[in-house]
């Protein structure tokens, strides 16, 4: 079963901020929250990740709820190039010592309107 | 610049044939992964490797095998291709398990 819940799709106007939500109510204390995105006809690319504190990088910001049961990826000014499927992923420890897998759900398809 | 490449980019084969998809990375990453992507399923993990001679099964490993004889390459083999294995296959690598995975451009495989 998927460990994260995201809306199937969202729309944003170009140059407006976008808030992409993700629910992960069963997150464990050692799970990191990762975000990837996939542009059309390309492989996924890393966006950002965090554990407890909010994180910023050149691509986006990640806001993590205090109870860690949800997070929000923030694109500060959406561009047409940001139209993609965005995946919220928990990095979990699988069976076997020291193994950490990324499990991709169906993601949120973001459309950017010019 | 370091990169991750996949070949071929497109492949059409027949049911029952053996097919091998290549993945090569020049980052010297220990960790490598194979995923498949189908409409309505997102990406699903097939096999992964944490280093030379190490291989592990992922969520959808039946009908697939991998081998890791060096750091740079993780070829994916379909022993006897089936129509259900028609998909887009992505290879990825990462420096360590806490860091990002870098994905290749994908291989579109069609099994007739």
Q: What is the rounded average pLDDT for all residues in chain A? A: 89
The nearest CA of chain B is from the CA of A74 a distance in Å of 19
Strand partners, B103: B92
Q: Rounded distance, CA B37 to CA B35, Å?
A: 7
Q: Do B98 and A32 touch (CB under 8 A)?
A: yes
Q: What is the pLDDT of residue A100?
A: 64
The answer to whether the beta carbons of residues A38 and A46 sit under 8 Å apart is no
The nearest CA of chain B is from the CA of A106 a distance in Å of 5
Of B40, B43, B104, the CB nearest to A104: B43
Q: Over the stretch B38-54, which tens digit does the pLDDT of each residue have?
A: 987 788 999 999 999 99
Taking residues B34-38, report their average pLDDT. Answer: 95
Q: What is the pLDDT of residue B88?
A: 97
pLDDT over 80 at A92, yes or no? no
Among B4, B5, B100, pick the best mutation site for testing chain A contact (most A Cβ within 10 A). B100
- Asked if residue B78 has a cis previous peptide bond (ω within 30° of 0), the answer is no
Q: Which chain B residues touch A107 with a CB distance below 8 Å? A: 42
């Amino acid at each position: 079963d998927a460990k994260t819940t995201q809306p199937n799709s969202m729309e944003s106007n170009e140059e407006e901020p976008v808030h992409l939500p993700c629910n992960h109510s069963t997150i464990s204390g050692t799970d990191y929250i990762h975000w990837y995105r996939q542009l059309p006809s390309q492989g996924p690319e890393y966006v950002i990740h965090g554990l407890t504190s909010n994180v910023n990088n050149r691509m986006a910001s990640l806001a993590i709820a205090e109870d860690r049961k949800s997070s929000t990826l923030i694109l500060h000014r959406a561009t047409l190039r940001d139209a993609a499927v965005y995946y919220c992923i928990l990095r979990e420890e699988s069976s076997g010592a020291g193994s950490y897998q990324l499990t991709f759900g169906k993601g949120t398809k973001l459309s950017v309107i010019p | 610049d370091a990169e991750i490449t996949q070949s071929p980019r497109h492949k059409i084969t027949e049911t029952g044939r053996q097919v091998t998809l290549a993945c090569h990375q020049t980052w010297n990453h220990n960790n490598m992964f194979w995923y498949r992507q189908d409409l309505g399923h997102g990406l699903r993990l097939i096999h992964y490797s944490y280093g030379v001679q190490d291989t592990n099964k992922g969520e959808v490993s039946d009908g697939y095998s991998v081998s890791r004889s060096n750091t740079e390459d993780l070829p994916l083999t379909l022993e006897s291709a089936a129509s259900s294995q028609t998909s887009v296959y992505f290879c990825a690598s990462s420096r360590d398990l806490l860091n990002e995975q870098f994905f290749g451009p994908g291989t579109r495989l069609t099994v007739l």
